[in-house]
Structure 1
Amino acid sequence: MPTHHYEQLITARWIITVEQDGVVLDNHSLAINDGKIVAILSPAELTAVSATEHINLDNHVLMPGLINLHGHSAMTLLRGMADDKALMDWLQNHIWPAEGKHVSDAFVFDGALLAMGEMFRSGTTTINDMYFYHAAMARAGLAAGMRTFVGCSILEFPTAYGQNADDYISKALAEAAQFSGEELVRFTLAPHAPYTVSDDTFRKVVTLAEQKDMLIHCHIHETMDEVNSSIEQFKQRPLARLHNLGMLSPRLIAAHMVHLTDDEIALVAKHGVSIAHNPTSNMKLASGIAPVQKLLAAGVTVGIGTDGAASNNKLDMLSETRMGALLAKVGTLDPTAVPAATAIRLATLNGARALGIDDKVGSIKLGKQADLIAIDMATLETSPNFDPISHVVYAAGREQVSHVWVNGRAVLAQRKLTTLDEAELKARADDWRVRILAK
């Protein structure tokens, strides 16, 4: 007779816990109650338990959900409209004008839902976002069931959303208050970049982040043009300027950080700054290769992000994880740089640490939330399977992600979205395409 009964049991051919690099559990099961992992069971132990729901994944890898550490979800609606441009040309002459005409509450809500559907289908369970109309992003996260960090963009110049830095900050705090207490939604302060934010505004952000216990999310050292412009305007590199303004701390998630000296890497490590590495976006915009291997060696927490679909053009964290590993190798001419197990950790537990939620998600451990994904390895593309960790990074594709759970709730089952209507998402996207082309 069973001695324990659980709400859910998930049995998988391989379980990658990410608690220790290289460890794979064979034919084990996770027991889940109230959305939390309450037991990890061997095949022998499984005979003594029962469950209301038991899912058998005989040919699958089960692992923590992927954490997208830097994105602009609503920009899925601008996917492919301004490709093959340099960053500032892309922003100033294409993206910002299009956003000025179209970005609204409805644009952000529809674009975010489209992005979340795509992200679920590639194994993402958490998004660290940065955009406008923050309440719309939060509502999308709740509607989809995605763990959502809503980055409140702050700039000095007017957009469709705000007039100046004080206006952006005021709206950010007001909208954050609307969603206080929501488990899946958390707001962050997101000053856009050193070239769009003043010293006074950065100081305000630092003070508010401490007062409100909020993370800070900012583009930093993305291109050499950014670095050189800062030297010309401020007589110092952007990171030095931010350091003098008190921005460097464990609260800061610095997106990109491509162009760093050894001294800057040491400075980042000293102050506990986390970095969101965006390999595909950095390649597509020809920004460069971030020194990930040096950052990891210095003890810096590095996670992985997709950036927005307008500069990637996919929100595919499996692909991004592979690119992160390969770029580290070619950038250092060292084939041992960022091995597969490390790459998985960057895409899961490191992202959770950067967001301050590694006690809840990012690995498979007793007491953590059941943010999980299953990847089907019974395909031609992943046969034979000598090493499931290697296959996740180097061989598997997002089309093999079969199941996704957030807090134990299935948001993708057998490749079908359960919280979102795929046909409706595509119809809304096409409607926006018509509207954008009309203008």
Structure 2
Amino acid sequence: MTPTPPTVDLLVAPRWLLPIEPQGLVLEQHALIVDAGRIRDLLPLAEARQRYLPRQIIDLPQHAVLPGLVNLHTHAAMSLLRGIADDLPLMQWLQEHIWPAEGKHANPAFCEDGARLAFAEMIRSGTTCVNDMYFFPDATARVAGELGLRATVGLITTDFATAWAADADDCIHKGLELHDALKDKPLLRTIFAPHAPYTVSDAPLRKIRRYADELGIGIHMHVHETAHEVGSALQATGKRPWQRLKELELLGPDFIAVHMTQLSDEEIAEAAQLGVHIAHCPESNLKLASGFCPLARLQAAGVNIGIGTDGAASNNDLDLFGEMRTAALVAKAVAGDPQAVSAAQALHMATLGGARALGLDAEIGSLSVGKSADFIAVDLSRIATQPLYHLQSQLVYAAGRDQVSDVFVAGRALLRGGQFTTLDETRVLAKAGEWREKIKPYA
């Protein structure tokens, strides 16, 4: 007697499967088998139909299925500040516009509504995992949990008083409480998020390193974002910020350095030696004229790199497809080498590179048996992506986020056939309109 095939939750049958690892592999006419929120199998479609009895079949004859994108650095709630005081230098933009607006309006409701708007944009853009840094991280975590999005929420720390906390010690205390509160949430994690070397003093940074070691969670920080930051530190202390962080033993394989546009050869070598990860935010760097992250040199040194959008106030979108394209193109121009960062490398940065930086590469970032079923589908039948010769090149250099049709996290659909399944788009838009009326005096 022939045994009855096992029943599984889902069989996804796309035109192409892009596992990400091994790099460059493209599977055609293969199926992705999902059960209990995890990837059970990847195998030829004809064989899959014989071997499994799926409760649901999703046929995607013109689509590529790939791992969900990982946004390695963002400030989600700042979506409500999109377009505030554009085209200004970083410190003027912050000190004269953003910080005053935040001082007046940043509160739990602002952060919940801003995070919901940001996450809606990210889901529609194919992002399944977010590494966030902002005030009221409890509000951000609450919204991510409600929507079913995978998120690492930053335990923000600054020396100065904010609406979130009175000082650095208060930030750390509240962050530890949130870490404990999220222990039983499988899609939610925490990471220490000291804002920047110029906003956090030595004593809190030493505490953060000690707690990070004790709890086994990472550290996520803006570092060497601008020449002004580095020059000011040199003038005040005689040390570049990187040197100070190294002396404080902050740098290591659990550290994500954001931006990193001002780097010496020695610092690049140290980043590789110490296992530091880079969150590369090319479009924000360009808009604020912060400089160019030396991507090709970092890759050549063996540094792991992920891609972030930064906040919508300084980008002004949360589109990782656009960010991948910009990252690859700018890297070629900076290096003077058209082979500097390939399409396959850009896709790796936006998926497995980001997952690795967050310590989640055993769970997400590639389509591998046993990993969580975090994946997206991209419709490549559109005019902009025809004719198609090379899948990875087309995804990076031609495809747009509007072509993302389906988004799944842990086997659960957050976007299906272009429609949200876990959020009310009308409500999101209405809330954005309400906040605009409050915030527009700062624009």
User: Do they fold alike, i.e. is TM over 0.5?
Assistant: yes
Superposed displacement of residue 156, structure 1: 0.7
Matching residue's letter, 1:100: G
Name 2:138's counterpart in structure 1: 135
* Alignment of structure 1 residues 152-301 onto 2, 5 Å: 152-301=155-304
Superposed displacement of residue 313, structure 1: 0.3
Name 2:428's counterpart in structure 1: 425
Matching residue's letter, 1:116: F
Name 1:37's counterpart in structure 2: 39
* Alignment of structure 1 residues 39-438 onto 2, 5 Å: 39-48=41-50, 49-437=52-440
CA contact (8 A) 2:206 2:248 kept: yes
CA distance in 1, matches of 2:440, 2:341: 42
Moved over 6 A (4+): none
CA contact (8 A) 2:19 2:368 kept: yes
Superposed displacement of residue 415, structure 1: 1.0
Aligned residues: 439
CA distance in 1, matches of 2:289, 2:357: 26
State the SS of the aligned residue for 1:47. helix
- Structure 1 unmatched ranges of 5 or more: none
Superposed displacement of residue 437, structure 1: 2.9
Deviations 1:85-113 (A, max 9, x none): 11111111111110000000111111001
Deviations 1:218-274 (A, max 9, x none): 000000000100101110111001000111111111100111011000111111110
CA distance in 2, matches of 1:28, 1:44: 8
State the SS of the aligned residue for 1:295. helix
State the SS of the aligned residue for 2:29. strand
CA distance in 2, matches of 1:4, 1:333: 54
State the SS of the aligned residue for 1:328. helix
CA distance in 2, matches of 1:178, 1:370: 25
CA distance in 2, matches of 1:407, 1:97: 39
Superposed displacement of residue 438, structure 1: 6.2
Superposed displacement of residue 153, structure 1: 1.2
Matching residue's letter, 1:152: L
CA distance in 2, matches of 1:5, 1:189: 42
Distance 1:203 1:230, change over 3 A: same
CA distance in 2, matches of 1:289, 1:322: 15
Deviations 1:59-110 (A, max 9, x none): 0010000000000000000000121011111111111110000000111111
Superposed displacement of residue 161, structure 1: 1.4
Name 1:17's counterpart in structure 2: 19
State the SS of the aligned residue for 2:83. coil
CA distance in 1, matches of 2:300, 2:197: 26
Deviations 1:188-230 (A, max 9, x none): 1110001111111111111111112111000000000001001
CA distance in 2, matches of 1:371, 1:336: 30
- Structure 2 unmatched ranges of 5 or more: none
Matching residue's letter, 1:337: A
Once the two structures are overlaid, the 10-residue window that deviates more, 65-74 or 202-211, is: 202-211
CA distance in 2, matches of 1:126, 1:46: 28
CA distance in 1, matches of 2:252, 2:237: 21
Superposed displacement of residue 162, structure 1: 1.3
Sequence identity (%): 49
State the SS of the aligned residue for 2:144. helix
Name 2:9's counterpart in structure 1: 7
State the SS of the aligned residue for 1:297. helix
The TM-score, its normalising length taken from structure 2, stands at: 0.98
CA distance in 1, matches of 2:321, 2:173: 36
CA distance in 2, matches of 1:229, 1:62: 46
CA distance in 2, matches of 1:82, 1:158: 24
Superposed displacement of residue 378, structure 1: 0.6
CA distance in 1, matches of 2:44, 2:115: 39
Matching residue's letter, 1:177: D
CA distance in 2, matches of 1:78, 1:372: 29
CA distance in 2, matches of 1:112, 1:374: 23
Matching residue's letter, 1:31: I
CA distance in 2, matches of 1:296, 1:378: 33
The TM-score, its normalising length taken from structure 1, stands at: 0.99
State the SS of the aligned residue for 1:11. strand
Superposed displacement of residue 44, structure 1: 2.9
Once the two structures are overlaid, the 10-residue window that deviates more, 159-168 or 300-309, is: 159-168
Superposed displacement of residue 419, structure 1: 0.4
CA distance in 1, matches of 2:146, 2:234: 44
Superposed displacement of residue 163, structure 1: 1.4
